[in-house]
Amino acid sequence: MTNTKKKILLLSTGGTIASVASEEGLVPGQSGAELLHTLGGQPYEITAKDILSLDSSNIQPEEWTYIAEQIYQLRRGYDGIVVSHGTDTMAYTASMLTFMLQGIDLPVVLTGSQVPMQAILSDAPDNLRVAFAAAATCKPGIYIAFNRQIMRGCRCVKIRTTGFDAFKSINMDPVAQVTSDGIDIKHSANEYVPSEHAICTLNTKVNPHVAMVKLFPGFDPAMLKAMVNAGCKGIVVEAYGLGGMNYMRRNMVKAVGEIIKQGIPVIACSQCLYERTDLTKYEVGRAALLEGAISGRDMTSESAVTKLMWALGQEMDLEEIRAFFNKDIAGEVTIARP
Ligand code: ASP
């Protein structure tokens, strides 16, 4: 009899899902095999591999590179991959994997939990089950599965510190969700993302010398210049509303212009979680646009900062980065106006 079960690889990296109590607080301590044991039998052939055992606060570009390499190298022979990961930086990892693994040829689903798998009322079993189902049925792509929703990874933001509904897909509906009767997954039309890459490519070159600044009334633009003097090669500004920046008294617009004249890209995102940046609407946005600020459109800040790191890693110059931000690489941004 032939084995028709889908083959799934579980790569575990730590996080609350794998955490155990210690004198120092919760620390990752459970292996992928232990997670599977607690979960119980699944209708898939699952292989577990522990690749990291970290609280995701410690996951940085070096770990992104390692996770991307593991996915790239191990993916053959599997129908899908689940990456168990801490929730705190999961949206950043998912966004960066989107850029590092363009043209990914199988579903890669990140998941985690707010409560450790070991706790009786944990959200981990449900999240893992949905992640496996997504890895078995979704189209190729990088996703986050959480609280019964499967979302495009590069659209996700962590919005809760403890609640189970911890992730939201921003400016894009979830690509799939568990049906209300709980027995199936309903896929939506936005699951498919065309890619320029006919085959999966691994490109882990990133430049982490970027900064992300949330604007607030009274921010001294000299701080922005100080960052550049300290070696910053690109800045994401979380500006106000549609992307406005102050020019009165403390001239943020002028500081942004001076930085851009040095060839350093400044991406204007919004502090608002939903909807898009539009620098053309208000004078305060237009001024920044005239100075050369690049609109982050409807991207999350997580996506914008990882896209910028990746672009700088490719040694793109200012104009190439501008063009790159005018392109949708894997569903992270809406280019055409709705
Ligand atoms: N601090 C944990 C982590 O990100 C939180 C979690 O996993 O929910 O690793």
Measured between alpha carbons, how far apart are the two ends of the chain, in Å? 51
Closest among 42, 66, 45 to 54, alpha carbons compared? 66
Distance (Å) of CA 91 to CA 8, 144, 148, 152, 158: 22, 8, 17, 10, 7
In this predicted model, what pLDDT tens digit does every residue of 72-121 receive, in sequence order? 999 999 999 999 999 999 999 999 999 999 999 999 999 999 999 999 99
Question: Which of the residues 55, 78, 93, 158 is marked catalytic?
Answer: 158
- Note if the pTM is more than 0.85: yes
331: which 2 tokens?
């569903």
Check 66, 72, 192, 282 and give the catalytic one.
282
Which of 13, 16, 89, 98 is the catalytic position? 16
Contacts of 87 (CB under 8 A, 6+ apart): 15, 16, 56, 112, 113, 114, 146, 158, 166, 167
- Whether the CB of 122 sits within 6 Å of ligand 1: no
3-state secondary structure the chain: CCCCCCEEEEEEEECHHHEECCCCCCEECCCHHHHHHHHCCCCCEEEEEEEEEECHHHCCHHHHHHHHHHHHHHCCCCCEEEEECCCCCHHHHHHHHHHHCCCCCCEEEEECCCCCCCCCCCCHHHHHHHHHHHHHHCCCEEEEEECCEEEEHHHEEECCCCCCCCEEECCCCCCEEECCCCCCEEECHHHCCCCCCCCCCCCCCCCCCEEEEECCCCCCCHHHHHHHHCCCCEEEEEEECCCECCCCCCCHHHHHHHHHHCCCCEEEEECCCCCCCCCCCCHHHHHHHHCCCEECCCCCHHHHHHHHHHHHHCCCCHHHHHHHHCCCCCCCCCCCCC
Query: Of 131-140, 286-295, 320-329, which range is least confident?
Result: 286-295
Residue 289 neighbours by CB under 8 Å, 6+ apart: 279, 280, 295
pLDDT interval class at 182 (50, 70, 90):
confident
> What's the distance, CA 174 to chain centroid?
14
Looking at the CA of residue 54, tell me the nearest atom of ligand 1: 9
How many Å lie between the centroid of ligand 1 and the Cα of residue 93? Answer: 13
Within 13 Å and on the Cβ side, how many CA atoms surround 322? 11
Q: Token digits for 262? A: 């040095």
**What percentage of the chain exceeds 90 in pLDDT?**
86
CA pair distance 122, 119, nearest whole angstrom: 5
| C-beta 56 within 6 A of ligand 1 | yes
pLDDT at 338: 47
* Angle, in degrees to the nearest 10, between helices 90-100 and 301-313: 40
pLDDT, position 183: 80
Say if ligand 1 is within 6 A of residue 55 CB: yes
Mind listing the pLDDT tens digit for each residue in 5-45? 999 999 999 999 999 999 999 999 999 999 999 999 999 99
Mean pLDDT of 133-140: 96
116 within ligand 1 shell (Cβ under 6 A): no
